[in-house]
Structure 1
Amino acid sequence: MDVLSDLLHRARARDAQIRQLIQRPPWSMTFADAPSLTVVATLGGHAAVRLDDDPQAPPVRLSAGDIALITGTSRYTIADAPDTPPQVVIRDGRKHVIDSGTGARQNLAPRTYGDGLPGSTTLLRGAYELRSDVGERLLDMLPPLAVVPAQPRTRAALDLLAAETAHEEPGQDAILNRLLDLVLVLALRAWCAAPQARPLSWYSALATPAVGEALRLLHEDPAHRWTVAELATRVGQSRATFAARFTSVVGEPPLTYLTGWRMTLAADLLRDTQETVAAVARAVGYEDAFAFSVAFKRGHGVSPSHWRRQARPGWRVSS
């Protein structure tokens, strides 16, 4: 499994909420408790996205086929135009109407709302909750608001997702989640390839011969007792050449990268499982629980047991 696929899988980027709006202007929706990652696509018409908790950030306009990836904000507004007054606020999963005179918003089909009249904007929104340290690594790839212009590959995926959104058949949630994942991956690829993007060093390294293969090996089996010599042999380079190239491209030596990845995995295991600290240590490649605790505290600032108590208040399982 490649590194990006591994991050998406481990970040639990699934079970997303998908909704479609088909509404004539003017319309405006504010999301007051934004999820960690939102995918917004304008299929027809125009829209504008504003990050409400960053008054210095100007609204960004979306044309048909554009995709916006929204992260790192607690409140944002999507509207037909930047100057449309607030009409609806979504908070705690509930709709609060501010302006009741803005036209009907009815259920048109499963997961589809609006008036459905000629001249409407068609908008797709998918919301992910990524509550993990691995999820943070994924979100670090993006600015708070990244816009991917329309292109043939993303448009084809969006059209298929829109067509499936309005259906309600057996297995529909599985289809929708996978199609939204497809849109997300295509958008991430396109964003990282854009001139204005500054992708993380590990993402740039994926296309580098030997280094990308080494990253894949580390992610496939992080608990293995890797050495620089073994990695170099596996990718067909000398130890010195491989170590220098990896450090230059990724920004840190191979085993330093591996330690950071292991600690990320360990943090999620401590939060999400009932395994003891010793068992978590073994799961990420440490036979010595003390050595693991030292490494974890160096990376996270607290011991594994303290981390677990902070992440899971009331935790009582033995460490």
Structure 2
Amino acid sequence: MDVLSDVLHRARAGEARIHQLIQRPPWSVQFADPPSLAVVAALGGTASVRLDGEAVLLAGGDIALISRADGYTIADAPDSPPQVVIRGGYKQFIEDGSMAGRQLGPRTYGDGLPGSTVVLHAGYRLRGEVGRRLLAMLPGLAVLPAGPRTRQVLELLSGEVAQEEPGQDAVLGRLLDLVLVLALRALCAQPGDELPHWRGALADPGIGEALRLLHERPAHRWTVAELAASAGQSRSAFAARFSRVVGEPPLGYLTGWRMTLAADLLRETEHSVEAVAREVGYADAFAFSTAFKRAHGVSPSVWRRG
């Protein structure tokens, strides 16, 4: 399994919540306690996403990824005042707001009148340290322009959102995952020196293969020479390139990933500390505890107790 697939799989906590809004301007929805990762797509018309005092415009087919936000607003235009606040999963109409809120179908709300904007909003619940690691890989707000591949999937997703059939949650979840992965791929392909290290790493064939091996077999006693051979490079050239592209040395990355996996195993399973140590590549529980405390600031036992 490649690195991005592995992180997404481990970070997911249940199915994503997906809703569609079909509303004539002016309209505005404020998300007061949003999910840790949200996908917003303009399916018909244009929409605005306001975050931290800045607004970006989405044309038809554009996708916005929003992560780690304390709150954001989706509206027909940047200057439309909020009419509805979503907090704790409940919709609250702001006084004198005129936004229509009737349910038009499964997971679909608004007025549904001619000239309406169609916006898709989906929120992912991410869990544990792997979820935090994924969020750290992403910018707070990224907009991906419409493309033929994402447009096709968005059309399928929009059609499925309005249905209520057996297996619907599974279909919606897979389609949304596809939208997210296509968006992240597009993010990786964007130029710019300011982009996080991981995007360049996944696009580099040799480094990408080494990362895949580290994620596929984190308990293996990897050496830099072994990883360099997998990348078809000399040990020194590989080590220098890995550090430059990823942002840390190969074995430093491996230790960080092991400690991330261990943190979630301690919280989500009843495995003993010794068993967790073996699962992430430590034969000695004492050495594991030392490395874990160095990474997380507390011992494995204290971490497990919360």
TM-score when normalising by structure 2: 0.94
Over 3 Å counting, the alpha-carbon distance change for 1:13 and 1:274 in structure 2 is closer
- Does structure 2 conserve the Cα–Cα contact (< 8 Å) formed by 1:88 and 1:99? no
Residue 271 of structure 2 corresponds to residue 275 of structure 1: yes
Distance in structure 2 (CA, Å) of the matches to 1:271 and 1:116: 45
Residue 27 of structure 2 corresponds to 27
Residue 178 of structure 2 corresponds to 182
Distance in structure 2 (CA, Å) of the matches to 1:155 and 1:59: 23
- Does structure 2 conserve the Cα–Cα contact (< 8 Å) formed by 1:89 and 1:97? yes
Residue 250 of structure 2 corresponds to 254
Trace 1:82-121 onto structure 2 (pairs within 5 A).
82-99=78-95, 102-121=98-117
Residue 243 of structure 1 corresponds to 239
- Does structure 1 conserve the Cα–Cα contact (< 8 Å) formed by 2:188 and 2:203? no
Residue 315 of structure 1 corresponds to none
Over 3 Å counting, the alpha-carbon distance change for 1:186 and 1:198 in structure 2 is farther
Deviation at 1:101, TM superposition (A): 5.1
Distance in structure 2 (CA, Å) of the matches to 1:255 and 1:101: 56
Residue 44 of structure 2 corresponds to residue 44 of structure 1: yes
Distance in structure 2 (CA, Å) of the matches to 1:99 and 1:27: 14
- Say how many residue pairs are matched: 306
Deviation at 1:151, TM superposition (A): 1.5
Deviations 1:123-179 (A, max 9, x none): 000100112211122112222211111121111111111011101111110000010
Residue 77 of structure 2 corresponds to residue 81 of structure 1: yes
Deviation at 1:200, TM superposition (A): 2.8
Distance in structure 2 (CA, Å) of the matches to 1:170 and 1:22: 24
Distance in structure 2 (CA, Å) of the matches to 1:33 and 1:12: 19
Deviations 1:226-260 (A, max 9, x none): 12232233344333333333233223221111101
- Does structure 2 conserve the Cα–Cα contact (< 8 Å) formed by 1:35 and 1:74? no
Residue 314 of structure 1 corresponds to none
Deviation at 1:210, TM superposition (A): 2.3
Distance in structure 2 (CA, Å) of the matches to 1:76 and 1:68: 12
2:293 is paired with a residue whose SS is: helix
- Does structure 1 conserve the Cα–Cα contact (< 8 Å) formed by 2:273 and 2:301? yes
Deviation at 1:13, TM superposition (A): 6.0
- RMSD of aligned C-alpha atoms? 1.7
Divergent runs of 4+, >4 A: none
Point out where structure 1 has 5 or more consecutive residues left out of the alignment: 311-319
Distance in structure 2 (CA, Å) of the matches to 1:292 and 1:92: 39
Distance in structure 1 (CA, Å) of the matches to 2:67 and 2:263: 21
Over 3 Å counting, the alpha-carbon distance change for 1:303 and 1:45 in structure 2 is same
Over 3 Å counting, the alpha-carbon distance change for 1:13 and 1:40 in structure 2 is farther
Residue 267 of structure 2 corresponds to residue 263 of structure 1: no
2:205 is paired with a residue whose SS is: coil
Trace 1:1-319 onto structure 2 (pairs within 5 A).
1-12=1-12, 14-51=14-51, 54=52, 57-99=53-95, 102-196=98-192, 198-310=194-306
Distance in structure 1 (CA, Å) of the matches to 2:70 and 2:97: 27
Distance in structure 2 (CA, Å) of the matches to 1:236 and 1:280: 32
Query: Residue type of the partner of 1:109?
Result: G
2:158 is paired with a residue whose SS is: helix
- Give identity over the alignment, percent: 70
Worse-matched range after superposition: 156-165 or 100-109: 100-109
Over 3 Å counting, the alpha-carbon distance change for 1:81 and 1:197 in structure 2 is farther
Deviations 1:27-71 (A, max 9, x none): 1111111110010001111111112xx3xx311121111111111
Point out where structure 2 has 5 or more consecutive residues left out of the alignment: none
Deviation at 1:214, TM superposition (A): 1.0
Query: Residue type of the partner of 2:188?
Result: C
Query: Residue type of the partner of 1:23?
Result: Q
- Does structure 1 conserve the Cα–Cα contact (< 8 Å) formed by 2:214 and 2:254? yes
Distance in structure 2 (CA, Å) of the matches to 1:192 and 1:210: 16
Over 3 Å counting, the alpha-carbon distance change for 1:103 and 1:134 in structure 2 is closer
Over 3 Å counting, the alpha-carbon distance change for 1:168 and 1:240 in structure 2 is same
Worse-matched range after superposition: 116-125 or 246-255: 246-255
1:116 is paired with a residue whose SS is: coil
